[in-house]
Amino acid sequence: MDYLISFINGHLEYAPYLIFFALFLAGFNIPVSEDGMLFLTAYLAKQNPEKTPLLFAAVFLGAYISDLISYFLGRFLGPKLWNIKFFSKMVSKERVSQVTNFYQKYGIFTLIFGRFIPFGVRNALFLTAGLGKMNFLKFALSDLLACTVSCTTYFYLYYQYGETVIEYIKQANYIIFALALSLVLFLFFKKKILTK
């Protein structure tokens, strides 16, 4: 991360494009950390306040378009994705069904909550929305709101508090992940018990 920061600092005029492009690639499941990009962007903005609007626009649009790419991969490649070993391990058919049920029951809150879950869950959530044939306009508008909430929150925290807040955010991410996992397991076992 230090190398990336020093490289971008040395080529600040390209920073928004590099940040946007890195997040764009994340939409294709290339492992680029959205949280890392948000931290990097906030760090650069703090060092160069005049670039803040452009840097935030780059990270926000990169994150949002990345979500749309994941959705379209799921929607148009559909079941063919399960022929790819990497993907079939990441998103099972049962998980698609569960997440589709979450979308139907909780709508936009699934996306808002899901955007705060780290460890690759975000992309799986967006792929699943596409696989489950969620209405595109509904997805795009819901995710726009969810992306606005998460990007603004993280950018603000990183901008205001820098590295001192990273450990707190990591701990919060673990808690959110544990809560999400507990909820999924609870609903899974509840369904199993009811179907017996």
Instruction: Give residue 124's pLDDT.
Output: 77
Percentage with pLDDT > 90 across the chain: 27
What's the pLDDT score for residue 155? Answer: 94
For the chain, report the end-to-end CA distance as a whole number of angstroms.
51
Q: Please choose, from the candidates 183, 178, 42, the residue with its C-alpha nearest in 3D space to the C-alpha of residue 119.
A: 178
Mean pLDDT, to the nearest integer, of 20-48? 89
**Is-contact 60 144, C-beta < 8 A?**
no
In the predicted structure, residue 1 carries a pLDDT above the cut 60:
no
Greatest Cα-to-Cα distance within the chain, rounded to the nearest angstrom: 63
CB atoms within 10 A of CB 62: 28
pLDDT of residue 113: 77
**Residue 123 burial by CB count (10 A; 0-12/13-18/19+): exposed, middle or buried?**
buried
What is the tens place of the pLDDT at every residue in 136-149?
Answer: 998 999 899 989 99
**105 pLDDT exceeds 90?**
no
Residue 163: pLDDT band (50, 70, 90) is confident
Q: Which backbone phi and psi does 134 adopt, to 5 degrees? A: -60, 140
